Chains A and B, each alone.
Chain A
């Protein structure tokens, strides 16, 4: 009884190159009627978020920030401070969890949870490699755009529930910013969907593979593809509240924005959600415009670099590296660009990015119809 699903589980592993093989095998792994495989399938991205947030997210950001400001950054815990994040987590776990008396207890507790779940659910449709995707939805891209809206609910719940003026203003600003920038972001991704002709994330990635590596990426698909790419990148910065769009948490005027009142584990959950979202938008831009898990290296004659660096395991490497590259750019911009004012923010979104997004939409449509 238990052996049969085990066989079913191991077979596709051997022929690992089959599309979605590992994830489908995991999803079908039900020992004794329990959907254990499904849990493992969901646990892999969860562990990834946790590990990446703790290492590259927190430690990496602090070290990169320090490097850009000619400082050393964390140096105390472990060699070069590499154990700093573990110390932080232990500290956060022991911290007293303060719930203000005047706060709305339910919203205050639920807010960070919604925020995290919203960010984590988007990971379900990210194709990490040619054989691993959490849920191979045929409307994957659409789902990814839609599920981000859950975070807005979480932010509003956290900000309103805190009953704190800083939190309320941070939350309201954040929501206004996220929903505004969702328009240019959605239209820019629409251009990607038009180039691919599908919303299936795995298929979008597949369509960008080829032996010339990066030349097959949608960024180089048409002479105007860089425009939606750029628009989405700028809009995604605003959607994850990163500088220069960090007025929701503007520490010099709003203390910490919507998480002013949070401490302990709830604060840690918000942190995980924020770094999760950063990777999520970076992965989406990599998948739609930069070939996702495809190797960017071209094959030159018999020197088949592309074939050598392709495969399910290499796929994970490439997607994560591309995601990390964009996160690095996000951290870099934080120390490069000053924060925008709220009227500049709205100006940029509605009067610059949205019209340009429409232009790129029309040009992409015409290009796709007339230039095959």
Chain B
């Protein structure tokens, strides 16, 4: 009987050993370290100030857009990988097909570009200006 594992079995061995290593590290540290918690020590770190509210809040929607664009591109790149291994044997026909495929991908990039989805919102500086003085220099001239 063949007792050796397939190559993905080796990957599984890596996974198991990685988990054992992390768990072992945690356990060793648990045995060695002191544990004297107090409310101040266990509070959320906010530069010494008392934390205001929870951190589980809404954040910039831009991150979500980036994730969406990533999904589209990543899935399409994934399709190109099997092609990359055989395209030398398939010749010009497969090359043209892949280039068409890439063209659609680039079209998608151009669309996202034109729509402004690739731009990060820059803060627009809102500098308050003084009303014009009756005499002397204006606020902007004084800098």
Contacts and interface: CB of A to CB of B under 8 A. Distances in A.
Interface of A: 23, 27-28, 30, 33, 35, 38-39, 41-43, 45-46, 92-103, 109, 112-113, 116-117, 120-121, 123-125, 134-138, 142-143, 160, 162-169, 172, 175-176, 179-180, 182-183, 186-187, 190, 193-194, 197-199, 255, 260-261, 264-266, 268-269, 342-343, 345-347, 350-351, 354-355, 358, 361-362, 365-366, 368-369
Given A97-B33, A113-B19, A165-B55, A350 B81 contact: no
Contacts of B35: 96-97
Contacts of A100: 42-45
A199 B10 CA distance: 18
Contact of A94 (B8, B32, B45, B56): B32
Interface string B27-50: 011101111110101111111000
Contacts of B5: 27, 35, 38
A102 B42 CA distance: 8
B56 A358 contact: no
Contacts of A28: 3-4
A124 B16 CA distance: 12
Contacts of B28: 93, 265
A162 B120 CA distance: 26
Given A97-B33, A180-B70, A350 B80 contact: no
B45 A260 contact: yes
A183 B70 contact: yes
For B10, B11, B23, B39, the residue with the greatest tally of chain A CB atoms inside 10 Å of its CB is B10
Contacts of B41: 98
A204 B17 CA distance: 27
25 contacts: A28-B4, A42-B13, A93-B29, A94-B33, A96-B34, A96-B35, A101-B44, A102-B51, A116-B22, A135-B11, A135-B14, A143-B11, A162-B55, A164-B44, A172-B63, A180-B66, A187-B77, A187-B80, A190-B77, A199-B81, A255-B47, A261-B44, A350-B112, A358-B102, A365-B87
Contacts of B73: 183, 354
A346 B29 contact: no
Interface in B78-121: 80-81, 84-88, 91-92, 95, 98-99, 102, 105-106, 109, 112-113, 118-121
Given A197-B86, A354-B73, 7 more contacts: A120-B18, A137-B11, A164-B46, A168-B56, A197-B88, A261-B45, A350-B69
A262 B28 CA distance: 17
B55 A167 contact: yes
A346 B66 contact: yes
A183 to B, nearest CB: 5
A138 B11 CA distance: 13
B126 interface: no
Contact of B21 (A38, A46, A193): A46
B9 interface: yes
Interface of B: 3-5, 7-11, 13-19, 21-23, 25-26, 28-30, 32-37, 39, 41-47, 51, 54-57, 59-60, 62-63, 66-67, 69-70, 73-74, 77, 80-81, 84-88, 91-92, 95, 98-99, 102, 105-106, 109, 112-113, 118-122
A183 B77 contact: yes
Contacts of B109: 350, 354-355, 358
A95 B5 CA distance: 40
A46 B95 CA distance: 41
Please name the 8 residue pairs, one residue from A and one from B, whose CB atoms are nearest each other, closest first. Answer: A265-B29, A343-B120, A135-B10, A117-B18, A179-B70, A42-B17, A38-B13, A350-B118
A358 B106 contact: yes
A157 to B, nearest CB: 13
A39 B29 contact: no
Contact of A137 (B7, B69, B99): B7
Contact of B14 (A124, A269, A354): A124
A194 B55 contact: no
A38 B13 CA distance: 6
A269 B88 contact: no
B118 to A, nearest CB: 4
A190 B77 CA distance: 8
Contacts of B113: 350-351
A160 B56 contact: yes
A189 to B, nearest CB: 9
A167 to B, nearest CB: 7
